[in-house]
Chain A
């Protein structure tokens, strides 16, 4: 892995929220690395800290009560967390853009969809006038498969899938280097989801955009991502290439996650859920956050923060059983 190939590197990122006088530990020491033109899937359940990571990258965490307590976010070697707000504004939309989960609320209902695309282009284009921006916006609509003449329509005249495609058009209008997609297809139907995923993939290839895809759907990950990071209670518990994670899931949480999905090929009377509930983010367990639900948890798991270990096939897994099984072999 050469240094120049890396677009985005997140080192030891921690985010806390203050809620009702209690500290919510949303993200706890996350390391991630995204190469140019690749897609990293960030998989986890509700409240695992996925969205907080995206918002930290764009620096759009809520002003009140949210704080990045440690870490750096390096984009091409520059730490985004130390940029001035004006510099950040230039980066948002141009170098990094985000697709939000809900296409129904991401668009302004009283503005023509075309104008919403043109607005972003105009904001970031170095030369050219309004007409150029409009022309480019129409092009973008065509690219995402919507006829250019619908430029003058309002969001309510579009279906959910079309709205999400408009959102994608806005996100890709300035050919960003990094696309943050926060559950981009969760609100869509399966057939529409397939269309949108195809579109994102095609456009990504065309523009060599890197993507951080946040999702809870293992199927979407399998289809779109190159690398996968599994996040649980604000901690990356397993991180590797898609093949490594899907073929050799090593963390008990990842294994449990795969086991809980109803199989499409086998008939089984009972599913295998993970017992218990995710931990309270204001009161995380001392050691491994998954230890209260883990069938293999031992005393050692509950003591200290678990250090990352390398599995036999070479991917990262935060579980003491990896080291133990290695020792056992020798």
Chain B
């Protein structure tokens, strides 16, 4: 096996909040091979965005290790951090707030180049032109401001900015969920094209199961800061093992009107991730929950490369 580009070991991110500690990311481990896409799915508040931001050092991790190309980059000094960030970039969810409204399009795209200090004026102009062509923004829009652009074009600007420093790894934090379906497909195709052409590695965070199925090689499912299931994309949709994953998949409204699939109806509300009890955090809503689910859980290798954090996985899926 070749060296994975990204390796995360027991990553934790806790936030102090009023009256406790919010366990946003709790003991998450995974690897991403070069040129592959790891999809991270889960509902709002499950810590998927925090995971992405912690990974690229927008937030400092509480515990655990992050390895980039085999090198530990968890705690780096300011100078190294600059180099690490150039290798790891992010595309944000909201194309309306992720671009400074007072910067024109080419100023936005050039900014990472200016900050890096490695480019001459002439090179910057050239590079900005290349980037705009690459992501499919018309050269005429160079001097336009973000508010003059629609969501799809703005997101392309965000992608160009992320690509400016030629990163190896990009965290895509719900990059298409604010876009209309027809535009969403354009952006997804663009991301895929860029991945193939430049050998990019993605971590693709989303709540949309059809999108994650389309774009990911591997998928990890998160629930309240914990990783509940991780396996190859096809395997997850063919053979979901964790009760939460199964409920999640069954809840997606299908466009197939003739075969109405039976939904697993979840009861109860999402429990609080502030100072959570030990044990499975899904137990409160899980139709299969038993006494032993409230004890600390371990990751189980259910089949080749299919990891599940559920002590009853074999009984449920028997």
Contacts and interface: CB of A to CB of B under 8 A. Distances in A.
Direct A–B touching, Cβ under 8 Å:
yes
Interface of A: 45-46, 159-162, 189-195, 197-198, 216-220, 222-223, 242-243, 246-247, 256-258, 260-264, 267-275, 277-278
A268 B266 contact: no
A222 B254 contact: yes
B251 A191 contact: yes
Contacts, number: 112
Interface string B283-313: 0000000000000000000000000000000
B44 A189 contact: yes
Nearest to A265: B256
B305 to A, nearest CB: 19
A218 B182 CA distance: 12
Contacts of B189: 270-271, 273
Contacts of B253: 193-194, 197, 217, 219-220, 222-223
A243 B255 contact: no
Interface string B211-227: 10111000000000000
State the main secondary structure of chain B at its contact with A.
helix
A38 to B, nearest CB: 16
Contact of A262 (B183, B211, B270): B211
Given A197-B253, A264-B210, 11 more contacts: A190-B209, A190-B251, A191-B248, A242-B257, A246-B255, A262-B185, A262-B211, A270-B192, A273-B182, A273-B186, A278-B180
Given A45-B181, A260-B181, A260-B184, A190 B255 contact: no
Given A222-B257, A271-B185, A191 B43 contact: yes
B269 A262 contact: no
28 contacts: A45-B182, A46-B151, A189-B43, A189-B44, A190-B209, A190-B251, A190-B252, A191-B247, A194-B263, A195-B265, A197-B253, A198-B263, A198-B265, A218-B255, A219-B253, A222-B256, A243-B257, A246-B255, A257-B181, A258-B255, A262-B211, A264-B237, A271-B188, A271-B214, A272-B185, A273-B183, A273-B184, A277-B183
Nearest to B211: A262
B272 to A, nearest CB: 10
B209 to A, nearest CB: 7
B150 interface: yes
Given A159-B269, A197-B253, A270-B189, A46 B214 contact: no
B52 interface: no
Contacts of A222: 253-257
Contacts of B255: 218-219, 222, 246, 258, 261
